Structure 1
Amino acid sequence: MKHKIHKKGQLKSGQITRRGFVGGSIALGAAGTMAGSLLTLSGNAFASTARRGGRMRAGLAHGSTTDTLDPASYENGFTGVMNYSLHNHLGEVDATGALVPELAESWEASNGAKTWVVNLRQGVEFHNGKTLDSDDVIASFQHHMGETKSPAKSLLEQVTSMRTDGKNRVIFELSGANADFMFITIDYHIAIKAAKDGKIDALDGIGTGGYVLESFEPGVRFYAKRHANYFKPDSAWFDELELLSIVDPTARINALTTGEVDVIDRVDLKTAHLLARQSGINVEETTGTKHYTFPMRCDTAPFDDNNVRMALKLAVKRDELVEKILYGHGTVGNDHPIAPINQYHAATLPQRVYDPDKARFYADKAGGIKVQLHAADAAFPGAVDAAVLYKEHAAAAGIEIEVVRAPNDGYWSNIWMNKPWGASYWGGRSTEDWMFTTAYLSTASWNESFWKNERFDELLFMGRAETNTDLRREIYYEMQEIVKDDCGEVIPMFANYVFASVEKVKHGAMAGNWDLDGEKFFERWWFDF
């Protein structure tokens, strides 16, 4: 790190528990490992008794004019926060990393984890006054199945049938065993919405969440008021919630320090230590599964040649990116998306390092490499600077990279998964299967590198069905190795979530599965007036 930050406090969460799956009847309350940690860089955001009131104003680094209210279209942090404020899911990840029921009251598996029975919480009310029932759950899931571009489609391809058993029970039948299925059901796209005649209105903004939609201007602002009949009595402490899209990091910091907003995400890491010194401001960070990537389209020349992919993976100084882009707020990556805190992280997999000679070897086998790298800071903070550094690193191997600076607005719709090579980021997922199914399965909607590997797909389904921990670890180890050596993803670093708030904002222990307390700060935090 280039600077020193005084550690005022540190909290480390516990680890998720994974229960054994035995015989034909299995009950699962949690799966995977999601142990994170919280570091308070300044002030003290803990303590005080939660109380209701006030308008929470948040300045977020995401937001695009192409954003919509349709959960199937959510693709960035702004729509993620908006989603959780309006909707609930069957379960959620808590501060310890455990999967806990939300709209579900309980669940259990049988038939070797091929059949899952979900018992719904009773008396939950939608914003329009309708009472939650099993038809709402099935219609909400069906919105992401069949003819749809929803990223959750690939996650739900394993569901062969869904049926109701009364008003408060849903039964899922899977094509194969999946010990982590309940984690799949809480993918943030699969928001539970009110059904009418077997279908949901994806754009109505109506959910069971703690806040009721008042107005939404894509790429600009979201405003909502507290749901008076919210089923969680000790949640949603604010009377009003306002989200502002402020992509520029300097503008976000100015908005916080001048009192225009109460919370910001993605603190500019170059100046985090200076912000932490300001009176009345708390700067904090959590560790989780977030990683920054440079995905290459494996279906497009020259990236369809693995010699090109290997050359580029060997042509980047990961340590320097962590130092100069993350300012020490993260760790080096190893070209696969499974974080060190995941249960089946392949810790013994050799770490890939910068090797210009070997990179040149692969580049020569490919007949030379001259490529464009598209980047914008909308992809991740410092993405353009990271691309420029990458260009400098690769030049030592005779590789020519032209950095193309793209506009922030529309980056996710115009550049990501459209241009042959660009910058990207992932919040990661709580389980290996969830992450791999979302972005690496050959048929996944968000397979951003357009990579296909038969052995990988085969192992993915094997891993879901395997209940022996040791055998499952071997499967996921091999999958990480395949991604590292064959996939079109360059993953040079894992990044901490660094955010800031004014002093009156208080909270308890925080989740690290997403930014800002699992993107649920508006529900879990409060003001100390």
Structure 2
Amino acid sequence: MTEFEMKMSAAKRAVGLGKLSRRDFMSFAIASGMTISAASTLFASAARAQPKQGGVFKAGIGHGQTTDSLDPATWSNGFTFSWGKSVMGAPLVQVNQKNEAVPHVAESFEPADGAKKWIFKIRKGITFHDGKTLTADDVVATINYHIGPDSKSPAKGVLSNLVAVKADGPDTVIFELNGGNADFPFLLTDYHLSIYPSEGGKIMWEKGIGAGPYVLKSFEPGVKLVGERNPNYFGTTYFDGIEVLSIIDVAARTNAYLSGEVHFIDRADVKTIDMVKAAPETELYNVSGFAHYTAPMHCDAAPFNDVNVRQAIKWAINRQDLVDKILYGYGSAGNDNPLSPSMKYAINAEPVYSYDPEKAKSLLKKAGLENLKVDFSASDAAFPGGVDAALLMAEHARAAGIEINVVREPNDSYWDNVWLKKPWCLCYWGGRPTADAFMSISLAADAAWNDTRWKHPRFNELLVAARAETDEAKRQAMYAECQQLVHDDGGQVVLMFNNYVGALSTKIGHAEFNSDFDHDGGFMYERWWMA
């Protein structure tokens, strides 16, 4: 899609949403070289593309496994993450297209006591799918489920500075923190934290009953989820129903789209994207954001427990070659800083890890090694082209005296049996809306998803201090030091920042996309409509 086509597509969406007048649209179209007649016809067509209810939206998702569960504390992949955003679940706070935290189940929120306390007012009249009224007690029970002493939920790390949460009447919830946190509402956008009905202080998640846009009709782990529009949803949604299909194999996913079985596929194969773009009634879903592909090393396991080995591997990988040959240009090279360059507080840490086999060799010598042989677990479940990326990395590293033995792991059990368990593997991250949210869930010492097992005292001290710091300059400096420490000492090899690339039928209407996650930030089921 050319720059003009992208701008025209955005202009048509703005017309459909009533945000661009006929006069302004005509001026843009004519200035772009269109005739008055063609521009007028195009405006009329776009004006008809206003959101409307009806139809069943079908999506082919490149994730999902037979061990997937309705338990929100276990959600860990692209098939399950939308469930708490815009399928069965409804969180207290949503992220809008401008990367702002906006109230959702909450009607409002405000800080107190230097942002050590946050007061949330709950929207009145919300009911769960079973008819039960949502109250402050349900919010408290939901949060406690994720932060309890026995919790394995990834959200526990996100909410690590939460000391207590309590109801103050049926419509008010008070969060008490161990330090100030100006970003706290963003933390409650985490997709695990959709609100569930409760009894006796315990949530009931087993039947998938939430307060979200869709009522769960059926769920077959690793295969399919079917939802029906919730007639009592407190927000706005358009589809009468949704079908979410787990299609891990990219060729099968592409064929499902080309045959009309689904309206949308994520994680398109960029090697064949030109063929997909040429399909009738197809729009390329191409969104750059915070997502990235990584190769986490366990810093407590040999040989990765030696920082010289970690750095040697980092210099032995040609990241730009990965961008060119695996992403086909739909992304940018990483530099072992997990924060996207477009994210607030992000820095470009020095030195930039370019491909330098000789430097890698010298670091191996510092570690007392002439050469190195390591196993590297890979699967296309981690990201499209994951195995090819691993083989390419092995080719790069050979010049540095590093022999990478690529272990091809099964797709369907990758997230249960490989990630977080094998000493070196592939991973992907969808990103988070703030620096604190991302580093807390993936790099903090006690984070459930600390997939490098990296525990750096100074980093963890800074992470806590930056969270409470209200002086912007001081906070910037703290986050800068955090990123430099991760870059220099951590085990997270950030291979590349990937665009979200998929295929979307023009039969589906939408507004401007969110960029913090794939699937329109997880909100495609709620925000899109039949055009």
* TM-score, length-scaled by structure 2: 0.91
CA distance in 1, matches of 2:465, 2:82: 34
The amino acid across from 1:242 in the alignment is E
Residues 417 and 46 (structure 1), Cα distance of their counterparts in 2 relative to 1, 3 Å cut: farther
Check conservation: 2:315, 2:353, Cα contact below 8 A.
yes
TM-superposed CA distance for 1:202, in Å, is 2.5
> Equivalent residue of 1:271, what SS?
helix
Check conservation: 1:281, 1:503, Cα contact below 8 A.
yes
**Structure 2 counterpart of 1:180:** 183
Check conservation: 1:178, 1:464, Cα contact below 8 A.
yes
CA distance in 2, matches of 1:322, 1:262: 28
1:73-472 matched pairs, under 5 angstroms: 73-84=74-85, 85-145=87-147, 146-232=149-235, 235-347=236-348, 349-366=350-367, 367=369, 368-472=371-475
Residues 490 and 501 (structure 1), Cα distance of their counterparts in 2 relative to 1, 3 Å cut: same
Check conservation: 1:505, 1:526, Cα contact below 8 A.
yes
> Equivalent residue of 1:364, what SS?
helix
Check conservation: 1:363, 1:399, Cα contact below 8 A.
no
Where structure 2 has 5 or more consecutive residues not aligned to the other structure, the ranges are: 11-41
CA distance in 2, matches of 1:87, 1:332: 35
CA distance in 1, matches of 2:272, 2:107: 44
CA distance in 2, matches of 1:68, 1:519: 18
TM-superposed CA distance for 1:166, in Å, is 1.0
* CA shift digits 1:363-420 (9 cap, x unpaired): 2222231101100000011111110010010000011100011110010000001111
CA distance in 2, matches of 1:278, 1:161: 53
> Equivalent residue of 1:189, what SS?
helix
Check conservation: 2:297, 2:423, Cα contact below 8 A.
yes
**Structure 1 counterpart of 2:36:** none
Check conservation: 1:370, 1:400, Cα contact below 8 A.
yes
The amino acid across from 1:365 in the alignment is K
The amino acid across from 2:145 in the alignment is H
The amino acid across from 2:316 in the alignment is A
CA distance in 2, matches of 1:436, 1:157: 12
Residue 8 in structure 1 maps to residue 5 in structure 2: yes
Check conservation: 2:82, 2:191, Cα contact below 8 A.
no
TM-superposed CA distance for 1:299, in Å, is 1.2
* TM-score, length-scaled by structure 1: 0.91
CA distance in 2, matches of 1:259, 1:11: 25
CA distance in 1, matches of 2:268, 2:287: 12
**Structure 1 counterpart of 2:33:** none
**Structure 2 counterpart of 1:509:** 512
CA distance in 2, matches of 1:428, 1:165: 33
The amino acid across from 1:332 in the alignment is A
**Structure 1 counterpart of 2:498:** 495
The amino acid across from 2:469 in the alignment is E
The amino acid across from 2:374 in the alignment is V
Say which one has the larger Rg: 2
Check conservation: 1:46, 1:506, Cα contact below 8 A.
no
CA distance in 1, matches of 2:118, 2:494: 35
The amino acid across from 1:301 in the alignment is A
Check conservation: 2:349, 2:484, Cα contact below 8 A.
no
The amino acid across from 1:271 in the alignment is T
CA distance in 1, matches of 2:471, 2:3: 43
Check conservation: 2:337, 2:348, Cα contact below 8 A.
no
Check conservation: 1:82, 1:222, Cα contact below 8 A.
no
Taking only aligned residues, the RMSD between alpha carbons, in angstroms, comes to 1.7
> Equivalent residue of 1:223, what SS?
strand
The amino acid across from 2:5 in the alignment is K
CA distance in 2, matches of 1:494, 1:100: 26
The amino acid across from 1:135 in the alignment is D
TM-superposed CA distance for 1:459, in Å, is 0.3
> Equivalent residue of 2:348, what SS?
coil
CA distance in 1, matches of 2:225, 2:46: 27
CA distance in 2, matches of 1:10, 1:511: 16
CA distance in 1, matches of 2:412, 2:400: 33
TM-superposed CA distance for 1:5, in Å, is 5.8
Check conservation: 1:99, 1:183, Cα contact below 8 A.
yes
TM-superposed CA distance for 1:12, in Å, is 12
CA distance in 1, matches of 2:520, 2:277: 19
- Equivalenced residue count is 494
Q: Which deviates more, 409-418 or 91-100?
A: 91-100
Check conservation: 2:349, 2:483, Cα contact below 8 A.
no
The amino acid across from 2:510 in the alignment is H
CA distance in 2, matches of 1:262, 1:363: 50
TM-superposed CA distance for 1:277, in Å, is 1.6
Residues 330 and 459 (structure 1), Cα distance of their counterparts in 2 relative to 1, 3 Å cut: same
Check conservation: 2:63, 2:79, Cα contact below 8 A.
yes
**Structure 2 counterpart of 1:54:** 55
* CA shift digits 1:445-502 (9 cap, x unpaired): 1000000000000000110011111111111111100000101111021001112122
TM-superposed CA distance for 1:254, in Å, is 0.7
* CA shift digits 1:97-154 (9 cap, x unpaired): 1111110111111111101100111101100101111000000001111211111112
CA distance in 2, matches of 1:467, 1:96: 22
